[in-house]
């Protein structure tokens, strides 16, 4: 392997691949080093018994029809020089937010959401419209006099706590690394990406996106090495000088872009203590169950795309207490089949996925047998919660289930290296991507933007800012 590159990128997730494409487009000598044997990071796929499972990708947010000017998706595709059609984005059917005694449906046309709120919360609709208008025009990076707490900012418009929680539930599940509250700028970015823009999915799932990014990067001459974890970042006089791989070999670089996370990256640096950044480790991790049927969800009478649910009196988005493995009172249900794939196109098998919050330490403390037993227990429990929320099944579930799987915070930690299995990373984001070393920068999850589109935009903007514009 060559020993010097202009830029080393740590991680072949969405952010690392997007950053790599930008640098390769500019003719930079760039290498992506990934510890795992597959690209995609938090949003990848794996095979079991000859069946491909997506990790992540319920929905790609930020969906807009081709050519919609000034939107994140359009900008991203242009920056990566990927044609819109290549993503095969198929819009959702419709989704809903399901709380005790109240449901709000939404789809990729904001008018539906607005009318649902007008019907369910007639006294709140003026406030909701004012909130939506504010969110539409807000400069997410410069809030001016508006409170930075999203809860406080939203309460200026929405006075019914039920509606407030119902708005926060999807926004937090799809994009908050912070417990209980979030930054209002981040809220605005997520709100737009979910409700003004919308959900879509390629028929073949996240593989389509990863393959597109990988092929583009390779065609531009970018180098990518798998099973090449980085063990150390060495420095001299405040500058990163080299990375040491798990196998001991050393690569030097002018600039390093790390997508491994803020604290995770700091701890790779030889000039930092082993417990660096202890106060900025993410607390939120999740578990997900996947069930495969030999029928389509529609055959059971289930047409929703995504359901964000909460069954408790108040919605609680926070770390699961250490004496519990899973908090089944809220979560996300997804039917990947329920997208408009077009005439004659559909996933062969039916899929049901359920995500809920889970405690990382509790899962990791279990011995192997208990771990497996608890997986079975919680799979059943989440299934039961889900059935309670869905329209009554027209077919018998047990007869048509042909496979199932479940992953836990332990799985996330193992495959992506995120401390605590924290999918959304550190609560304190580093928006300019800078670190204590001059030429080491962060991109992806801990730079600030979450989700597939967010991670790619982060990779692009950090590559632009710190490498192409020369910092």
Partner 1 sequence: MTEDQVKQIVIDIINEIAPDEDTTDLKPEVNLRDQMDLDSMDFLDIVMELRKQHGIEVPEEDYPQLASLDSCGAYLTPMFNAK
Ligand X SMILES: Cc1cc2nc3c(=O)[nH]c(=O)nc-3n(C[C@H](O)[C@H](O)[C@H](O)COP(=O)(O)OP(=O)(O)OC[C@H]3O[C@@H](n4cnc5c(N)ncnc54)[C@H](O)[C@@H]3O)c2cc1C
Residues in contact with ligand X by CB under 6 A are: 10-16, 33-36, 41-43, 55-61, 229-230, 259-260, 264, 268, 288, 412, 416-417, 423, 444-445, 450-452, 455
Contacted entry of ligand X, partner 1, none for residue 16, CB cut-off 5 to 8 Å set by kind: ligand X
Nearer residue to partner 1 within complex by CB, 177 or 460: 460
67 binds, among ligand X, partner 1, none (CB under 5 to 8 A by kind): partner 1
- Which of 307, 360, 461, 466: binder of partner 1 (CB under 8 A)? 461
Q: Residue 20 CB: number of other CB atoms within 10 A?
A: 30
Decide whether 162 or 251 has the Cβ nearer to ligand X: 251
Among partner 1, ligand X, none, what binds residue 455 when CB lies within 5 to 8 Å by partner kind?
ligand X
Residue 75 interacting partner from ligand X, partner 1, none (CB closer than 5 to 8 Å by kind): partner 1
Tell the smallest beta-carbon distance from residue 214 to partner 1 (Å).
21
Is 145 strand, coil or helix? coil
Please report how close the Cβ of residue 420 comes to ligand X at its closest, in angstroms.
13
Residue 169 CA to residue 185 CA, distance in Å, equals: 16
Q: Which is nearer to partner 1, 140 or 406 (CB)?
A: 140
Q: Which does 185 bind (CB under 5 to 8 A by kind): partner 1, ligand X, none?
A: none
409 Cβ contact partners less than 8 Å away, ≥ 6 residues apart: 285, 286, 287, 358, 359, 360, 363, 364, 420, 421
Residues contacting partner 1: total by CB under 8 A = 19
User: Among residue numbers 17 through 36, which ones bind partner 1 (CB under 8 A)?
Assistant: 25-27
**Under the criterion CB under 8 A, does residue 37 sit at the interface with partner 1?**
no
Question: Residue 325 binds which entry of ligand X, partner 1, none, with Cβ cut-offs from 5 to 8 Å by kind?
Answer: none
Using CB under 8 A as the binding rule, whether residue 464 contacts partner 1 is answered as yes
d(CA 265, CA 260): 6
User: Which positions touch partner 1 (CB under 8 A)?
Assistant: 25-27, 66-67, 69-70, 74-75, 78-79, 81, 83, 460-461, 464, 468-470
């Amino acid at each position: 392997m060559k020993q010097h590159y202009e830029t080393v990128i740590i991680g072949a997730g969405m952010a690392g691949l997007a950053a790599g494409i930008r640098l390769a487009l500019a003719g930079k000598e760039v290498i992506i080093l990934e510890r795992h044997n597959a690209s995609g990071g938090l949003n990848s796929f794996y095979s079991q018994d000859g069946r491909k499972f997506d990790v992540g990708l319920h929905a790609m947010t930020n969906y807009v029809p081709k050519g919609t000017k000034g939107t994140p998706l359009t900008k991203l595709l242009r920056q990566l020089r990927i044609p819109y059609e290549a993503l095969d984005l198929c819009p959702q059917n419709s989704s809903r937010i399901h709380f005790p005694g109240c449901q709000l449906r939404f789809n990729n046309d904001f008018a539906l959401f607005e009318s649902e709120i007008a019907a369910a919360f007639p006294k709140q609709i003026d406030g909701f419209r004012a909130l939506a208008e504010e969110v539409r025009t807000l400069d997410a990076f410069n809030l001016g006099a508006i409170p930075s707490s999203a809860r406080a900012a939203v309460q200026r418009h929405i006075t019914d706590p039920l509606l407030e929680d119902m708005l926060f539930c999807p926004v937090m599940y799809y994009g908050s690394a912070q417990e209980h509250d979030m930054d209002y700028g981040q809220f605005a970015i997520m709100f737009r990406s979910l409700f003004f823009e919308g959900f879509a999915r390629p028929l073949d799932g996240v593989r389509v996106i990863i393959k597109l990014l990988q092929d583009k990067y390779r065609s531009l001459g970018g180098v990518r090495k798998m099973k090449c974890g980085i063990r150390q970042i060495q420095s001299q006089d405040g500058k990163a000088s080299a990375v040491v791989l798990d196998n001991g070999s050393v690569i030097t670089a002018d600039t390093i872009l790390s997508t491994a996370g803020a604290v995770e990256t700091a701890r790779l640096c030889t000039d930092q203590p082993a417990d660096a950044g202890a106060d900025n480790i993410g607390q939120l991790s999740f578990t997900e169950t996947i069930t495969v049927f030999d029928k389509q969800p529609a055959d059971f009478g289930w047409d929703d795309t995504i359901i964000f649910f909460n069954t408790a009196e108040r919605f609680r988005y926070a770390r699961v207490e250490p004496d519990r493995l899973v908090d089944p009172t809220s979560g996300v249900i997804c039917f990947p089949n329920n997208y408009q794939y077009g005439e004659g196109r559909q996933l062969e098998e039916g899929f049901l996925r359920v995500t809920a919050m889970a405690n990382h330490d509790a899962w990791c403390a279990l011995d192997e047998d208990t771990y497996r037993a608890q997986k079975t227990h919680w799979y059943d429990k989440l299934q039961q919660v889900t059935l309670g929320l869905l329209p009554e099944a027209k077919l018998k579930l047990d007869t048509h289930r042909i496979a199932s799987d479940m992953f836990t915070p332990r799985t996330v930690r193992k495959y992506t290296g995120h401390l605590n299995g924290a999918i959304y990373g550190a609560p304190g984001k580093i928006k300019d991507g800078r670190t204590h070393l001059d030429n080491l920068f962060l991109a992806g999850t801990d730079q600030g933007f979450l989700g597939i589109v967010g991670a790619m935009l982060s990779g692009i903007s950090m590559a632009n800012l710190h490498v192409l514009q020369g910092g």
